[in-house]
Structure 1
Amino acid sequence: MTMARDEYIFLIILAVNLIVSVLYLAAGIVLMVPARASLADGNDEEILYDNRRTYVIRFIEMILCPVIVPLFFFMGHLFYLFVFWRDANLVDVVFSKDRVKTNLKADEEAERNIIPLEEALLVNEKKDLRSVFVNVMREDIRNSLASITLALDSEDSETSHYAAAVLSDELNKFRIFVQKQLTQVREKKDSDTEGEEILVDYMDSILKQHVFSDHEQRKYVNEMAEAAELLYEKDASRITLERYEAVCLRTLEMKDYGVAETWCRRMEEQYPDELSAYTCRLKLYFARQDREAFFQTLDALKKSDVVIDRETLELIRIFSTRRQ
C-alpha cells in the first residue's frame, strides 16, 4: 500500500514537472522571444535575450532532471530580479586610455637579437646600431637620454643625426615644461602640492642622466631644489624618501654642500630608520672630506637596526679596514 502511494506521488511530481516544463517552453517560444526581438528592433542599443534554442535546451534539462532544474531556474530568476533589477550607474566611471595598461606577449625572437645601445656603439655596426636605436625610439626615451647622448659621437652620420634630433627635442620639452610648471608653483598660494611633486619627480628623472652642460645642469638642480623647498614649506609629509634622496644627490653632484646637508638633515628627521638617510650623509661627508662626521655616521649605521644592502655593506667593510 505504501509503495503504491509513493509511486502515485512520484507520478504526480513527474506530471506537474512536465506541465511546468511545457508551459515554460511555450511561454518562452511564443511570448518571450518575439517580445524581446521586437524590443531589440525598436531600440538603437543592443539587447541581449535568450533565443528559442535556449528554451528548448532548458526544457530538455527540466524533463531529464525534474524538480531540481526547474527550482534552479526559478531561484536564478528571482536572484536576477532582486539583485540586478536596475542598470548600474556608470556616471562616476571614467574610461581613460592613460590608465589602461596593455600587457603584450613578448616577442622572443626579436628580444634575442636586441643588444644595449652602448654595446652597439662599441661594435659600431651600422645595421645593428640603427636597429637598436629604432627600438629605443619606440620605448619611453625619457630614461634613455644618457645612452642617446653617446650616439652623438657615432661614426654613422645617420645615427648621430637622429640622436641629435631626438635629444634636442626631448631637452626642449624639458625646458618648456619646467619653466611653465615652476612659474605656476611659484604663483600658487594654496596648499595643493601636486605641481611641486610632479616637478621634482620629472626633473630628477632627467637630471640624474647628466645630459645638460655643467652650467645648465646647475641651473636646473637649483630650480629642482627650489620646487622641493616649496613642497617642504607646504607639506613636508608629501616629500617621500625617494624625493629626499633625489634632491640630496643632485645638489651633492653640484658640490652645493650646504643645501645638500640641509636636505640630509631633513631626511634624517623624517625618515630616521631608513638606509638612504645614512648613505646620503655618508656621501656628503665623504665628498666634503669630513672624516669625523663620516665615521660617526658609519658607526651609527652599524649600531642601528637598519637593513643594509650589499653595496653599503661593502662600503662599511672597506672603510672599517682603512680606519684600523
Structure 2
Amino acid sequence: MISLVVAAVLLLIHALVCLMLWTLMKLGLLPVRGHMLAVIVLVPLWGPLLVALLSVRSAVFGEGLKESALESLRFNDDLHRSMSVPSGEDDAGVVPLEEALIVNDPAYRRRLMLSMLTEEPDAYLAQLQAAKLNDDVEVAHYAATAVAQISKESDLKLQQLERAFKTDPSSHNLDAYCDFLGAYLDSGLAEGRVAQIQRQQYARLLARRCEREDGPALRIRYATALADADEIDKAEDVASQLVIDAPDEQDVWMLCLRLAVIRRDGQAVQRVIDAIEKQHVYLSADNREKLAFWRDGEEAR
C-alpha cells in the first residue's frame, strides 16, 4: 500500500515537472526543441534532468561554440582561397618525357613505356618513334610494337577514306581524306617510296580543293605539299601568286624563304629577307628566329 502511494506521489511530481518544463518551452524561456518533450515525459527523472543540462549548456556555451565553428569555417575557406596554383617555376624538377626515356634507370623507363601504351599511344607517337632507338631492348620492343600498331590502324583508316572518296568524290569526303592524309604525313609514319607517293597524292588532293576554295591558307598548304613532293617549280608558281594576293601574310614569305633554301639559292634567300624587312611584315617569335638564322648565315657567308 505504501509503495503504491510512493509511486503515485513520484508520478505526480514527474507530471508537475513535465508541466512546468512544457510551460517554460511555450514561453520561450527553455531553449529546447519540441521533440524533446517525448524524452521528458517518457523518461522519468532522467528525461527532465537531461533537458535541464542541455538547456544550461546551450545557455552557457552555445554562442561560443557557434562562433568557434564559424571561425573555423572562415579559416578553412581563407586557407583554400590562399592556395596558389603551381607556376612554371615549380616544374623545374620535372623531367621531359624524352629525357626520361634516356636518363632514368631501366625499370623506370619500362614503367613509363607501359603507362604510355595503356593511356593513349597516339598522343605519344613522336616519343614512341624516338624510343624505338633506345638502348634498352625491352623499351625499344614496346615502342616498335606500339608504332607498328598505330601505323596499321592509320593505314586502314586511310584506305577507308580513299575508298569513300573514290566512291563518292564529294566535298566532305575530299576534305576528310585530304586532312587525314596530311596529318598522316606529318606524323612520319610513312617512309621511303610510300611516303613520296602519298605526298604526291596529298598535293593532288589539295589542288582539287583549291579549285573549289580560294584562300591563302589552303594555297600555302598546297605549295608546301608541292615542295615536299619535289615539285619545286609548281610550288614557286603558287608562291609567286600568293606574294601578289597576300603580301602581308607572314606564312607566304616563310614559304618563299623555304623554297629559296631548298633551291640552295643564297641570293634568293637574301631577296626574301630584304622584302620582308622592307614591307614590315609581322612575324611571330618562331618565324623571327628562323629569319634571324638565315640572315646571320648570309651575313657570315
2:202 is the counterpart of 1:224: yes
Structure 2 equivalent of residue 235 of structure 1: 213
- TM-superposed deviation, 1:175: 1.6
Structure 2 equivalent of residue 207 of structure 1: 185
Residues 199 and 228 of structure 2 are in contact (CA less than 8 Å); yes or no, is this contact kept in structure 1? no
Structure 2 equivalent of residue 133 of structure 1: 113
- TM-superposed deviation, 1:209: 3.6
Question: For residues 247 and 280 of structure 1, what CA distance do their matches in structure 2 show?
Answer: 11
Fraction of identical pairs, as percent: 20
How many residue pairs match? The answer is 211
- TM-superposed deviation, 1:180: 2.5
* Structure 1 residues 246 and 137: CA distance shift in structure 2, 3 A: farther
Please provide the CA RMSD for this pair.
Answer: 3.3
- Structure 2 counterparts to residues 1-324 of structure 1, below 5 A: 115-123=95-103, 125-137=105-117, 140-190=120-170, 192=171, 194-237=172-215, 241=217, 243-265=218-240, 267-268=242-243, 271-309=246-284, 310-315=288-293, 317-319=295-297, 321-322=299-300
1:78-108 CA deviation, whole Å, 9 max, x = no partner? Answer: xxxxxxxxxxxxxxxxxxxxxxxxxxx99x9
Q: Report the AA paired with residue 179 of structure 2.
A: D
Q: With structure 2 as the length reference, what TM-score do the two structures score?
A: 0.58
Residues 120 and 129 of structure 1 are in contact (CA less than 8 Å); yes or no, is this contact kept in structure 2? yes
- TM-superposed deviation, 1:113: 8.0
Question: For residues 255 and 196 of structure 1, what CA distance do their matches in structure 2 show?
Answer: 23
* Structure 1 residues 189 and 284: CA distance shift in structure 2, 3 A: same
- TM-superposed deviation, 1:195: 2.9
Greater C-alpha Rg:
2
- TM-superposed deviation, 1:136: 3.2
* Structure 1 residues 235 and 313: CA distance shift in structure 2, 3 A: closer
Question: For residues 175 and 292 of structure 1, what CA distance do their matches in structure 2 show?
Answer: 42
Q: Which has the higher helix share?
A: 2
Q: With structure 1 as the length reference, what TM-score do the two structures score?
A: 0.54
For CA contacts below 8 A with separation 6 or more, give which structure has more relative contact order: 1
* Structure 1 residues 150 and 315: CA distance shift in structure 2, 3 A: closer
- TM-superposed deviation, 1:186: 4.2
* Structure 1 residues 279 and 167: CA distance shift in structure 2, 3 A: same
Question: For residues 112 and 128 of structure 1, what CA distance do their matches in structure 2 show?
Answer: 19
Question: For residues 152 and 316 of structure 1, what CA distance do their matches in structure 2 show?
Answer: 33
1:125-154 CA deviation, whole Å, 9 max, x = no partner? Answer: 222212332443355543532321122233
